[in-house]
Structure 1
Amino acid sequence: MTTAVDKLTLVEYLAYDDGTDVKYELVDGELVEMPPESDRNNLISLYLLSQFLKFVPIQLIRHKDTELVVIGNRTRVRLPDLMILTQELLEAIAGGRATITPDMPPPVMVVEVVSPGKVNEDRDYRYKRSEYAARGIPEYWIVDATQARITLLTLVDGLYEEAVFQGTDVIKSVTFPMLNLTAAQVLTPGQNIPNP
């Protein structure tokens, strides 16, 4: 962890290497260690990846390892569970580090799968919500298996409008209207839940 005196800049964060495979987000100049995901959360994000592959080219999908620079009190770097890029953004990243910087266009969609605990809930429901809206991301999904719901946020005039889906509710995405999934299918992947 860093102290108040030695807060990292974005450049320092991008060059940081502690010799381990630990993943960090940068939050207001401080390194925040991202613990390994639960098996359930991994399965949910992989299931969504498999569903988006049906109509989104693989080169436009990012899973867990692409950084997204957002602005807070200081620069913040997030590691979303899943992102869908535009062709323009793909070209901006091409050949470089998998980091979406503020001078690049935003992704079309970001998905965060909530880990249990108040700190994780606050991060996904509160902080990332405002950060992603400020970054201009058209659609943000908060997938919460503990609460058995998917909160789909659609950017309208700079603010997110919220729709919540549970159980057999069919998820209605403005960005991806061809998607035909229920909340239960996403929240319990691998189980035999019929298509809507």
Structure 2
Amino acid sequence: MSTINEVLYLEPGLAGTPMTVEEFDAVTECDELYVYQLINGVLVVNPPPSIGERGPNDLLGYLLRAYGEQHSQGKALTYTAPEQTLRTVNRRRADRAIWAGFDHVPDIDSTPPTITIEFVSESLRDRRRDYEVKRDEYLEVGIAKYWVIDRFQRKMTVFRHGDKGYAQVIVQEEETYQTPLLPGFELPLARILAEADLVEGADCYFVST
């Protein structure tokens, strides 16, 4: 049971507070400098994604938008959004969500996306979460595919439902990924990884005045 009756404003000082999903979903205001998730009934507060995640995520969003607007089959892309909170048994923040094949834009807060994308974090604990825990939660709620883009191991893993719970395909750095969920869309993995390299390298330099 939650130890609070009502939370109107989320901020870092509330990290570790027990909450119900109903309480979390009812929140309308927060300190937007942080990311909030509800994991196993506890509020988790994280800093925003690093530039090594945001940069390639922005590029992926651009490629998806270009496909949707310019490709003859681009109408397959219904909508895409970065930093989307997903309603699984928990409330997790996905780096990017894609809704595909709808005839109209659904309620994105309550409709599971067709595809979710994660840009892997570096620590061992975070990697296990990204590769295993999120995979299981996302597939359980009916998400068709889960792309895990790993700039550290220079690959992308695509998870989907399979006979043994899930199946996976490994996309190597030099390969271009395609999916029937977005016919005609091509994702050159090397370009995404190069964007991460570019912005992470730039973050190491400063201008002296």
Classify the TM-score, shorter chain: 0.7 to 0.9
Unaligned runs of 5+ in 1: 94-98
Residue 117 of structure 1, aligned match among 114, 123, 128: 123
Root mean square deviation of aligned Cα: 2.6
- 1:48 aligns with 60
- 1:68 aligns with 86
Q: Report whether the alignment pairs 1:38 with 2:50.
A: yes
Shift of 1:15: 3.0
1:83 and 1:107 in contact (8 A); partners too: yes
State the identity %.
25
Unaligned runs of 5+ in 2: 1-14, 70-76, 199-209
- 1:23 aligns with 35
SS in structure 1 opposite 2:161? strand
**TM-score (normalizing by structure 2):** 0.73
Shift of 1:42: 0.6
CA distance in 1, matches of 2:30, 2:113: 30
Shift of 1:69: 0.7
**Number of residue pairs matched?**
175
Structure 1 pair 18/63, CA: closer, same or farther in 2 (3 Å)?
A: closer
1:136 and 1:158 in contact (8 A); partners too: no
Shift of 1:145: 0.4
SS in structure 2 opposite 1:11? helix
SS in structure 2 opposite 1:141? strand
CA distance in 2, matches of 1:179, 1:59: 13
1:154 and 1:174 in contact (8 A); partners too: no
- 1:96 aligns with none
Shift of 1:191: 8.3
Q: Deviations over 1:149-189 (max 9, x none)?
A: 11111334683311111221221323224122332112112
Residue 14 of structure 1, aligned match among 25, 30, 33: 25
**TM-score (normalizing by structure 1):** 0.78
Structure 1 pair 9/25, CA: closer, same or farther in 2 (3 Å)?
A: same
- 2:137 aligns with 131
CA distance in 2, matches of 1:89, 1:62: 15
Q: Report whether the alignment pairs 1:79 with 2:88.
A: no
**Segments ≥4 residues shifted beyond 6 Å:** none
SS in structure 1 opposite 2:87? strand
